[in-house]
Every structure is written in structure tokens, then in C-alpha cells.
Structure 1
Amino acid sequence: MKSKGWHEGVWDLTDGTHENLDRLLQSGSIKLGRAQRDRLDWLVGQYGAPTLDGAGEARRSGVIILKEPPSGAAAELFYRSLTPGCAVVIPTSENPGFDFLKSKLTEFGTVGPCGAEGPHELWWGGIGWSKFLTAADASTDRPRIVSCYPRGGDATAAFALRHSLERFDLACHIEPIETEFGDRVLCFEKAEFMVRMWNKYREPLLFVEAGAVLREAPLLPSFLGCDVALHKWNRWEVSARTLYLGRTDRAEMLLRSWQQLAASYPAIWEGYLLDQAWSLTSSQVPLDTVWLPRSYHALKGDLGAMRATILHGEQTTTLDLGPDPGFAGIARAARRAGRTGPRDAFMVMTSKAETGTGIAVILRDVAASDAGAVAATVEAVTCAYAADCGGYGRLELSLCAWQDDVGAAREAAALARYRILEIAPGQRIANDFFASHAANEAVMTARHLFP
């Protein structure tokens, strides 16, 4: 007779208690923060029994939690064994070793690291969106659709959007706004509009570009209950044409960050700035992000345009991707895998230290190291900082696969005038790691001042 609860890496839903899932995670030494655990609980409720590293042969349904990245033929075999009834969860997905497998799957979302309690990034995906799209049709959670267009410009597109909303019984707010240019809305103008809508309404907000029309009710993001949902066209370039914000503090933090960046750099493309706001926010709080399917960002002329939920009227181009020509190369692989790149901090932690001094820890050789060693080192660094920050008010942890990544991370840290520490996976990190480093820095400074 089959026992209840967790047994040999498999979750038996006949028990249904959180304690069994706790034991499953503990058996794999998996650390999750509260937001990450909430997402995992939700997935187990949707898909059923979880397993560690795909324990067992049959994978007809359930949640598969991966600790180690399969590569080559193993990844291909794993992918072929999956069905739409399976969800794949990677609790240490900041490791680029998982990128190859992710590229074969449909990316559903990510949950950012949660400090020392959950110091990794959780990624979840599967075979396709069909299960969620079907379930979302019956969702009672509905967002308010918001949009804006230049005052004095052609309002035809806005009228078309409003008309397409009528049959879905969705609340909306579409208005003309003052703009610097009569034919377009700049990023800072759109971000300021979104902040006004955030302050005005209490529902989740779904921004849709005025040139779009709705073919279906856009209920997927509210059904999934995320903080933010957006689309990456070409799988890596963040778009601000469709943007969902749940009513959470984390969603507001991303919105405020986007507004501040847009105000500081008004001439820069909105997608670039939204990308940077996402990277900054997800490194500081466990931002629950959903990466929307193409049906939420379909373009006229697409092969799948007839099955679109949101259909945009104008083609998207990469002519003005951003001010930094190196940004595309640095970010492309990372964004395709739903993670931050080497120039951006994977995780940011702050302390109560009154000093404004920051320290950047660069974990090198990640791609060539065992995934368990990388994860253990991340956990050791964050636990050491939480135990004794050494007087450093801010920690930024970056993961670098190759030496070129280390150079980019060092350059970014130097520009921020941070102390820089470079470590390797498996290196022993004591609880006084940061305090010892601060003491050594003080001695070196004293010798320099008083030789």
C-alpha cells in the first residue's frame, strides 16, 4: 500500500500538508524564501505531485524540481519526457548552467532571491501555455486596462482599443496626455502616467499601447497572481507595450524604479529602461515575474496573429535599443534565461551599518563548476553577510561564467566605488568573512597613510 505524503522523492497529494513538502525540500537542501515557496505551493496545487530531479520514469504530470543542470543528450531526453501536465522548477536558476535546458522549455516566470533566507532565483516553466490559458478564461480576477496617447494627436488608435474592450466587460482608463512630441509618448511620460494610474485605482493595472486591440480577455497575469508580467520579444528584449502590475509593494517598487530611470535618462528607449528597472528590483526583493506569451504581444502580420489576445498595430524594431552598444551582447543570454547578466548584481543585500560603503562580491568560474558548489557558496556569502556585515552597508553579489564576465562586473563595481572581492565556487566562507576583509582593508589603509 502506498504511504501518504513524501516518499522516495515523490509527493503524494493524499496527505496535502505543508510538512511533507518541507521534508522534500530539506532532503535536497533547497532553501526558498516566502515568495518562492508561495509560488511553488501554487504550482503543486495546479500540477500535483512534485519530485526531485525527476525521480521515477513517468512524467505525465506533476512538478519536477531540478537541482543539477542536465546537458547535451540528457537535457534532450529530459525535454522529450515532459508533457503539458508537467511543470519544471529550478530553485537555483541564477546558474547559467541551466540556460541550455531553459532554452528548450517555455518560460513561465521567475521569482527573485529573498536575501539570506532564500538566496537563489527560482525559475518555472514547462511545455506550453495551454494549461494556464484555458484556466485563466474562468478567472474572476480582472485588471483595469490603462493606456495613453499624445494630446492633439490622432485618437483613432485609442478609439479602436476602447471599442475592442467593450465586449469583455473590463474597466479601463484611456486618456490623452501632454507630450513633448505630438506623434509619440516618451518613456518618462508613459512611466509618469502609470504612476498616476497606480495612485488613482486599486485594481491590478494592465497597460496596453494605444495602437493595440484586444482579441481575448487578458486574464492570464491576474490569474497567475504575479507582481509583474511583461513580454520579451525575441525572447530577450523587454517590451513596455504590454505591462501588468499587480497590487503589491514589489510591483510598485519596479514602477518607481522605472519612473526614476526614465526621468534621469529621458532620451533612452523605454524597453531598455524597463529591463534595467526589472534587473534592479528583482535583485533587491523577491519580484514574482511572469514572462507573457507571444499572444500578449502579437504583431499584425504574425503567423499567430489570429490567436492573439493583444494585437499590436506597429512593428517593433531594434534601431534604438539603448545607449550602450555592448548591452545586447552582455544581456542577451541572461535575459533569454530569465536572469540577470554579469554586469548586473544578481542579489543586493543591505545592513543596518551607518556607513555608506558597499562591497561587491564576484563569484567567478560559475559555468565550469558544480552547480551544488555554486549554490552552497552563494548561501555561505549571504549567511556571512547577514551574520556580520563587517560595517559594509550594502552587498552586491554577481555571478560570472567566464573571465570576460568578471571584467564587466569589476568595471561596474568600480564605477559605483565599491570594494571588490573575487571568490571561487567551493571556497570556504566563514561567518566573519566580511569583518575580516574590513579589518584587512583598515590595516592596509593605515600602512598607506603612515608608512
Structure 2
Amino acid sequence: MTDDTYANLDNLLRSAGIRLGRIQRDRLAWLVRRYGAPTVGGQHEGLRPGGVVILTEPPSGAAAELFHRSLHSGCAVVIPFGENPGFDFLKSKLTEFGTVSPSAEGPHELWWGGIGWSKLIASADGATIRPRIISYYPYGSDPDGIRGLRQSLDELELDSHIEPIAAELGEQVLCFEKAEFLARMWQRYSEPLLFVEAGAILREAPLLPSALGCDVALHKWNRWEMSSRTLYLGRTVRAERLLRSWHHLAASYPAIWDGYLLDQAWSLTSSQVPLDTVWLPRSYHAMNGDLGAARATILHSGQTTTTSLGPDPNFAGLVRTARRASRTGARDAFMVMTSEAANENGIAVILRDVEANDARAVAATVEAVTSAFAADCGGYGRLELSLCAWQDDVGAAREAARLARYRVLEVTPGRTIARNFFANAAADPVRHHFIP
């Protein structure tokens, strides 16, 4: 894109009242280069000519259906307020490509999707960066289990590293051992890493994640359960932060399912840095028995069964509530900010009644709270902002803040947030109060 094109994009965002951080703006510019000129708003008669459609208000019912029918594979949909549950219905009708999480300069989640992966997969042919394929197998396991992977890597002439590891439980590799292996590979190699399970075979070069230029790419079962069978890590500080968080959690809870700990590490990292995530298509995570297995890029050896669709069914349901449309749940802070205050005091701001309010009002309150903390933290070292649609969400967020010994404030969308909002809160001895 030329400087003029960037300027035009910035002018469009400014006129629409859309505030993006640098990483989010770069992702939007990337989409504009591939799909065409951006427009703001969902209303359109008939089939769209293509391009990027930026939605700032959630359509519902018939409007969402008409919007969906106007799209084709040459269109990309961008939602700059992706954290708002009002967009969930539309998201459920689209293919989810990725998200860019919030930061102080862009305090919203950027969601992007469309109609199928065909245009993006075609763009992988021009990828100039090739990842190193890495995998492992436990000592003593059947060597035939990795023969197919080695052969496919040789045929595709891909750089790779496969090694045996000493698994504590014999042929069962713990989450900590997997994360530790990835951490070692991160230190050993300088190129992006693409981990695949040893039983997989590659049907073609898996260049989509590196072509998209993201921090991390993985597949989700059932639209929310994260899988670590295929995991891409770009060479960015944000990807390294995710890996370190996952490694730390796995070391602390070695017996817990690796997908759940990866989910927690992703949630933690995305609340603190603008993590650019791609949710890989099923062709990068196909299983034997899938209808599209013959067209898979990465084919895993496991059979597609209900028991393979996520974690151990005996794992406590309380701690694996479905992540709704890629939004962080109420138990996880949507955004975390730190200050230079020389203490560890934290404050939790709960933005409630999000479902019942206008998307713009919710967005404005998010921006006001984060801007106020950046201007005057009131002596608090850490802010955790949670978005809650329902009263149950409020209760979960409040309990999480209580366990962390945080001061709790509840606000509603549209509430005026003064620049000294946090200084006033620090001066108020009330431990918890609701600000309508």
C-alpha cells in the first residue's frame, strides 16, 4: 500500500470513530491489499463487488441474513468491536479467520472473517517465508508412527526437526513435555515454527500461516476448543510470550489437558498484548475419516470421533465453558493494563449489561476507562477490565477479582468516565460499588 492509501484508510477509520492499535491497523491494511477497498456499514443491495466490509453496528435477524447473502469469497468482514456479544449471531454465520486482541492504543478486539478460505489459501502460494516443521516421538514408540511424516517432509523439501523425547509416562507425552520441546525449538531455530503431531502426514506445503504473517495459528474444535495438534508460532515477541505462558502453566499443572492450558495461555496473553491470531481451517487439522481428508494440507492419524473433539470428557465442565464466538469469558479479563505505580494493588472494572446496550456506547466506555487509567492510574499497579453481558457473568468476574484481592468497580455503558476516575476510586474506602 502507498502512503496515500494508508492515509485514506486512516481517514476512513477516523471519520467512522474507529480506534485501532498498530498491529490491528496493519492487519486491516493487509486485508485491504488482498481484498480491495474498505467500506463502513453492512447495508448493500444484491451481491457485493468485493472488498473489506467494516461493521460497527451488529445486524440481527433478517438484516444479518441479508448481509450474509450479499457476501462471497472475494469479501472480508472486519468487526473492530469484536468483543461485543451483539455480533455473535453474525459471526456464527461466517468463517472465522482470526482476531487481533486489544492494547492501550486500540482497546478493542479486531475480528475478521468471511465466506470460506479459498482466497486466503490461494495467497499462500506467494509465501516467501517457510516455517520449520517440528515434531517429536517418545523413546520406545513404534518408529513406523513417524515414517509417513518424514517421507512427506522429504517429498515437499521442507526444513524440519523430529526428535525422540523421554516421556515421563512412557508413550504418553504430558503437556509440560510438549511445551518444553517447543520452547527448546524456539531457542534453537530462527525461523517460524510449525508443530505437528508425529502421526501426521503433510499433503502439501503448509504455508498459509506464514503467508498471513500472524503471531500464532491453531485450529479450534467446535469453534472454541483449542487444539495443539497443529500449532504455528511466528517469530514475534508476542508469540514468544504465548509460548512462555503455556510452558509456565504446563509446569504448574502437568496433569491437565494441553488444549485447556493452551486456551488459558492464549487468554492471558491476548489480554495483555495485541496478539494476532489465525484460526486455521480444518484442512490444516484434518483427521482420518473426515469428508475433506483427501484435500487436507495436514492429515492427522487419529480417527474423527466424538471423543477426539476436545479434552478428556471427565475433565471438569466448570472450567471449560465454551468461549463464545472467540470472546474472552467473564472469568478472564478482556484487557489488562499495568502502570508505573510502585505497588501491586489491582483494580477490576466490570462493564456490565453489555448485551442490552448499543455497541458504540459499550465501545466508548471501554475507551474511556482505558484512557483514564493511562492518564491517572490512581496509584493502582494493574487494571483488569471485564465485559459482562449477563448477571451470571458479573458474578463470575466479581468472584475472580475477589480471589485476586482487587478493588472492584462496576460501571454501565454510556457512563461518563472522568480522567481522575481511578484517583477518585482510590480515595473512596468502599471496597466494591456499582456506578450506574
TM-score by length of 1: 0.92
SS in structure 2 of the partner of residue 313 of structure 1: strand
**Shift in Å, 1:325:** 1.9
The CA distance in 1 between the partners of 2:2 and 2:332, in whole Å, is 43
Q: Write out aligned runs for 1:47-446 (5 A).
A: 47-54=35-42, 56-57=44-45, 59-115=48-104, 117-315=105-303, 316-318=308-310, 320=312, 323-329=315-321, 332-334=322-324, 337-441=325-429
Letter in 1 for 2:276: D
**Shift in Å, 1:322:** 7.9
1:358–1:393 contact (8 Å) kept in structure 2: yes
CA pair 388-324 structure 1, distance change in 2 beyond 3 A: farther
SS in structure 2 of the partner of residue 426 of structure 1: coil
| Deviations 1:223-281, CA, capped at 9 Å, x for gaps | 00000000001111100000000000000000000000000000000000000000000
The CA distance in 2 between the partners of 1:180 and 1:156, in whole Å, is 21
**Shift in Å, 1:179:** 0.8
Letter in 1 for 2:92: S
| Deviations 1:176-218, CA, capped at 9 Å, x for gaps | 0011111121100000000000000000000000011111110
SS in structure 1 of the partner of residue 331 of structure 2: coil
1:212–1:313 contact (8 Å) kept in structure 2: yes
SS in structure 2 of the partner of residue 271 of structure 1: helix
2:135–2:162 contact (8 Å) kept in structure 1: yes
CA pair 422-47 structure 1, distance change in 2 beyond 3 A: same
**Shift in Å, 1:318:** 4.2
SS in structure 2 of the partner of residue 268 of structure 1: coil
Question: Sequence identity, in percent?
Answer: 72
**Is 1:28 matched with 2:20?**
no
**Larger mean Cα displacement after TM superposition, 53-62 or 77-86:** 53-62
The CA distance in 1 between the partners of 2:403 and 2:144, in whole Å, is 46
- Alignment partner, residue 10 of structure 1: none
SS in structure 1 of the partner of residue 262 of structure 2: helix
The CA distance in 2 between the partners of 1:319 and 1:275, in whole Å, is 11
The CA distance in 2 between the partners of 1:14 and 1:361, in whole Å, is 40
**Shift in Å, 1:168:** 1.2
The CA distance in 2 between the partners of 1:433 and 1:100, in whole Å, is 34
1:271–1:321 contact (8 Å) kept in structure 2: no
**Shift in Å, 1:412:** 1.1
2:215–2:275 contact (8 Å) kept in structure 1: yes
| Deviations 1:387-416, CA, capped at 9 Å, x for gaps | 000111000000001000111111111111
CA pair 54-140 structure 1, distance change in 2 beyond 3 A: same
CA pair 123-321 structure 1, distance change in 2 beyond 3 A: farther
**Shift in Å, 1:140:** 2.4
Letter in 2 for 1:343: R
Letter in 2 for 1:92: F
| Deviations 1:280-327, CA, capped at 9 Å, x for gaps | 000000000000000011010011111111111114244526854213
1:269–1:321 contact (8 Å) kept in structure 2: no
- Alignment partner, residue 8 of structure 1: none
Letter in 1 for 2:173: V
Letter in 1 for 2:70: S
The CA distance in 2 between the partners of 1:287 and 1:322, in whole Å, is 31
**Shift in Å, 1:14:** 10
Structure 2 portions without partners, runs of 5+: 432-436
Cα RMSD for the two superposed structures: 1.5
**Shift in Å, 1:169:** 1.3
The CA distance in 2 between the partners of 1:73 and 1:41, in whole Å, is 30
The CA distance in 2 between the partners of 1:66 and 1:165, in whole Å, is 42
The CA distance in 2 between the partners of 1:298 and 1:143, in whole Å, is 19
1:88–1:125 contact (8 Å) kept in structure 2: yes
2:43–2:67 contact (8 Å) kept in structure 1: no
Structure 1 portions without partners, runs of 5+: 1-12, 446-451
The CA distance in 2 between the partners of 1:189 and 1:427, in whole Å, is 48
CA pair 355-311 structure 1, distance change in 2 beyond 3 A: same
Question: Post-superposition, which runs of at least 4 consecutive aligned residues in structure 1 deviate over 3 A?
Answer: 13-16, 54-58, 321-324
The CA distance in 1 between the partners of 2:316 and 2:386, in whole Å, is 20
The CA distance in 1 between the partners of 2:54 and 2:371, in whole Å, is 24
CA pair 52-322 structure 1, distance change in 2 beyond 3 A: farther
1:109–1:338 contact (8 Å) kept in structure 2: no
The CA distance in 2 between the partners of 1:164 and 1:310, in whole Å, is 10
